[in-house]
């Protein structure tokens, strides 16, 4: 039977996370339908139809789907779930919000944060902040899965799947969207960036964070991340947090600046291809996972690095 992939998108375009989750879907089976739930989302549906391996795109549009609120999106997925034996979504905040609701409505135990598809019913997933990897077999007839996208390659483009319109389910009317507060910037997204530079508490203030990290990020065309300590201290916004409970990233180059390397942070970045650590404490645990370590004062090193690039 077919597989349903719930798309991460912003109505205009389909996100890279969807293309990565598609690779996981294709490792489970070959007939993958993508659900685009939104409002004015033809652009995202067109984007999804071009992804290599998608056999059909389902487009559902309604006011309450515009921001993909959990209750109406889950109701929609459940209304079409009969035709699918696997339903999956990237483990973005959307996927994490919606999918367990779908699973409970279907009386299915969800498999969260899959990092490897072993077979159609068996998956690997991290537990304890990635300090152990569990292999689990899902025994429910239907599988509901979220995919940790950092470990999957994005599926390519070149497909031309048909787009079919489906009706939204009756709106449960339980919650109302008020507003999004999303900082606009021109940087690449953390979860798809090729290079990330992250700052920790050692930066000392939000001004210093900007002053020291931003010029290097600009030079490298890098996304900016932060440790939990830096976010808690107000040096960086919450959506920059990399770690167990923030974003999990795997760029080609990860530069950790003034980050000691708590296990919760390592959980979010240790799959990066190359890790650079800059820290004045040579005993900092971050050096145990870094390919290249530089011990010293970050306030001297970063301006020098910016010039050297």
Partner 1 sequence: MKVLVPVKRVVDYNVKIRVKTDGSGVELANVKMSMNPFDEIAVEEAIRLREAGKVTEIIAVSVGPQQAQETIRTALAMGADRGILIKVDELVEPLSVAKLLRGVVESEGIELVILGKQAIDDDANQTGQMLSALLGWSQGTFASKLEIDGATARITREIDGGLQVLDLKMPAIVTTDLRLNQPRYASLPNIMKAKKKPLDEKSPADYGVEINARLKVLKTEEPGGRKAGVKVKSVTELVDKLKNEAGVL
Q: Which residues are annotated as a binding site for FAD?
A: 201, 227-228, 241-245, 258-265, 279
Query: CB 102 → partner 1: shortest distance, Å?
Result: 8
Which of 106/161 has CB closer to partner 1? 106
Query: CB 55 → partner 1: shortest distance, Å?
Result: 27
Which of 33/148 has CB closer to partner 1? 148
- Reference 161, options 1, 38, 5, 8; nearest CA is 5
- Reference 265, options 202, 214, 177, 187; nearest CA is 202
Could you tell me how far CA 230 lies from the centroid of its own chain? 20
Query: CB 227 → partner 1: shortest distance, Å?
Result: 12
Query: CB 53 → partner 1: shortest distance, Å?
Result: 24
Q: Measured between alpha carbons, how far is 268 from 211 in angstroms, rounded to an integer?
A: 24
Which of 23/227 has CB closer to partner 1? 227
Which of 162/283 has CB closer to partner 1? 283
Structure tokens that stand for 7 in this block: 């798309």
Q: Measured between alpha carbons, how far is 3 from 1 in angstroms, rounded to an integer?
A: 7
Which of 26/248 has CB closer to partner 1? 248
CA torsion, ordered 138, 149, 243, 298, to nearest 10 deg: 160
Query: CB 112 → partner 1: shortest distance, Å?
Result: 5
User: Buried b / exposed e across 192-217, counting CB within 10 Å, b at 16+?
Assistant: bbebbbbbbbbbbeeebbbebbbbbb
Residue set of the binding site: 201, 227-228, 241-245, 258-265, 279
Angular region, 130: left φ>0, alpha ψ -120 to 50, beta rest: left
């Amino acid at each position: 039977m077919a597989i349903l992939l719930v798309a991460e998108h912003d109505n205009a375009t389909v996100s890279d996370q969807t293309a990565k989750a598609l690779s996981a879907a294709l490792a489970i089976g070959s007939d993958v339908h993508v659900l685009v739930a939104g409002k004015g989302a033809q652009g995202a549906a067109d984007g999804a139809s071009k992804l290599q391996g998608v056999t059909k795109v389902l487009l559902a549009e309604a006011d309450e789907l515009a921001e993909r609120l959990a209750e109406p999106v889950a109701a929609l997925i459940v209304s079409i779930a009969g035709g699918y034996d696997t339903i999956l979504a990237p483990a973005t905040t959307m996927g994490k919000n919606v999918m367990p609701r779908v699973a409970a409505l279907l009386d299915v135990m969800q498999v969260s944060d899959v990092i490897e598809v072993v077979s159609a019913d068996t998956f690997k997933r991290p537990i304890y902040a990635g300090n152990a990897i569990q292999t689990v077999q899902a025994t429910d007839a239907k599988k509901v899965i979220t995919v940790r996208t950092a470990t999957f390659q994005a599926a390519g483009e070149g497909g031309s799947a048909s787009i079919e319109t489906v009706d939204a389910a009756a709106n449960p009317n339980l919650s109302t969207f008020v507003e999004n507060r999303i900082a606009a910037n021109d940087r690449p997204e953390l979860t798809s960036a090729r290079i990330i530079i992250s700052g920790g508490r050692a930066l000392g203030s939000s001004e210093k964070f900007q002053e020291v990290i931003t010029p290097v990020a600009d030079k490298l065309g890098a996304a900016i991340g932060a440790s939990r300590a830096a976010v808690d201290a107000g040096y960086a916004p919450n959506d920059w947090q990399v770690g167990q409970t923030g974003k999990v990233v795997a760029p080609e180059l990860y530069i950790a600046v003034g980050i000691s390397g708590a296990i919760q942070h390592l959980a979010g970045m240790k799959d990066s291809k190359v890790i650079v650590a800059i820290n004045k404490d040579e005993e900092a645990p971050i050096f145990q996972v870094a390919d290249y370590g530089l011990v010293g004062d970050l306030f001297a090193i970063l301006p020098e690095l910016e010039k050297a690039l």
